Structure 1
């Protein structure tokens, strides 16, 4: 079975830290060894809507891989994960919070994933591929796709990594952006690439989206946190804002935004599958996926599923709520 989506994002074991007034790093012991990684969140954003057998991700297991993480991942669906055993430690990272700023730091070496890694596995030649990397790395991934044969032309979903969203990286991005079907920086990243002023405003975000389209991107989605997401697929057609799921009195339900953007893009791919490519409709699925990731630290709680390959997902609840109920609620607000 050909997968709808394979992500080349990583699996990471996360720990969380805060910085006190003196600058000291304080470990949050109750948030040690959390399941994380951009690939993991993307896969789960899609899993909210798609059957596990439609999604694929490589998980590199180090010698220290905890059994509870293995069982937790498999609860979301055995078919999603392709486990590879590695002799080193599992990739680990620190999420560091200081006031309203969030930092990220790898604590162990990471193993990069490429299209060649999936070709001899059950993940080979999916319809959509998702990658999180620098523009130079994106160029290498697309070149490798070309080298793997003319019979595979995946739809590409690309989110740049924050520390490479600087003006110096723009010339490299321009070399590959015409190959990107969906280019999705967050608001700060998009403005930084274009040397536009901060903080983000809707006017600046719309300006950035237009610029990326002029550079050759097929479609642009600027993920903008509490402002929502701005979607535009043509220079000549007005873009559209899709507001965040939790607004107004419900804004206090947002606990931690780690992984929200990755899950948004996983949900987007699921929405594109269901809507046969309608970007606005897909963005509603994406927004709902992100909403489940930000209600808690770590991953959302799934009930009503055994994670087996025979599950239909009809009775599944995420954080106690059915995704389609949230979808209809959001659709009523956005579309009317």
Structure 2
């Protein structure tokens, strides 16, 4: 089977501390943008069609191992090194402020890492990094003869700065999907950090002018929280796709947005595979994947019925997809009248 999706994002064990806990960890959960992206794709695709490399250290918790396996053992390619620890981070909360720091060394993944695994030459790849690092990843992909994957680039937040714009312009012609969130997009372009639909639309247009996907055809998808996601293709067609939990009565459904953007892009990759590259349809899949991620702290829960039907958070992704599609169709119909 051709592998449909692989992420170069990392697996991280997230530790949490709160202001009233004197900075000591109060719990741990599965983290890492790569992990969330993989689960976003797994919501739609079988485990043997996607994958992720996990660097497993000598401290890897058994409960986390067991939780990962509930999503399918075929997904995970574990690289073991008993001489080191697993990558860990600390998330500290002080009121509305959330701090993040790595507390162990990071191990970056590269396209060459796939060559010794079953994950070699997937149809689409996802990476979360600076534009400068993205250039290095694209260069390594180009060195592998006969491989031209759909490249989905998610800029890392702290490098969405004007200084990275030259590197971004250099890498964009090789990128099929550029997807910052709204604040990141505005920051890269040195625009006021006031998120409105018109500001997001203008930012998407600016990125397309820089040549997204010039070597084929590219799209910009700016993830904008409750406003939804704005999709603009290389032919300048633009459309807003709703966030699934966008209505006021669903406000309580959003518990924690950590990983929502990552899982959105995993869902997008799956949607592109399922819809034969229709980016607007694929974004519906992306929005549904994100809708499961925000319902709890950590990853959504997968259960399988006795007749083999999968449910996520005790709901059907396909049901949510149809609800969202009907909502979008109504909005388009109302605009045309």
> Would you call these one fold, judging by a TM-score over 0.5?
yes
Query: How far apart in 2 are the matches of 1:243 and 1:89?
Result: 40
The answer to whether residue 50 in structure 2 is matched with residue 55 in structure 1 is yes
Query: How far apart in 2 are the matches of 1:314 and 1:329?
Result: 23
Which residue in the other structure is 2:321 paired with? 327
SS of alignment partner, residue 70 of structure 2: helix
Q: How does 1:174-193 map to 2 (within 5 A)?
A: 174-193=169-188
Query: How far apart in 1 are the matches of 2:96 and 2:184?
Result: 16
Query: How far apart in 2 are the matches of 1:16 and 1:241?
Result: 35
Which residue in the other structure is 2:138 paired with? 142
SS of alignment partner, residue 84 of structure 2: coil
**Do the aligned residues in 2 keep the contact of 1:181 with 1:219 (CA within 8 Å)?**
yes
Query: How far apart in 2 are the matches of 1:314 and 1:264?
Result: 25
Offset at residue 203 of structure 1 (A): 1.1
Query: How far apart in 2 are the matches of 1:147 and 1:198?
Result: 38
Return the TM-score normalized by structure 1. Answer: 0.93
Greater CA drift, 43-52 or 91-100? 91-100
SS of alignment partner, residue 154 of structure 2: strand
Which residue in the other structure is 2:334 paired with? none
Aligned residues: 323
**Do the aligned residues in 2 keep the contact of 1:213 with 1:235 (CA within 8 Å)?**
no
Name the CA shift for 1:329/1:28 in 2 (closer, same or farther; >3 Å). farther
Offset at residue 191 of structure 1 (A): 0.4
RMSD: 1.6
Query: How far apart in 2 are the matches of 1:335 and 1:25?
Result: 51
SS of alignment partner, residue 212 of structure 1: helix
Query: How far apart in 1 are the matches of 2:18 and 2:271?
Result: 36
1:166 counterpart (161, 170, 176): 161
SS of alignment partner, residue 33 of structure 1: strand
SS of alignment partner, residue 236 of structure 1: coil
Which residue in the other structure is 2:194 paired with? 199
**Do the aligned residues in 2 keep the contact of 1:45 with 1:266 (CA within 8 Å)?**
yes
Gaps of 5+ in 1: 307-312
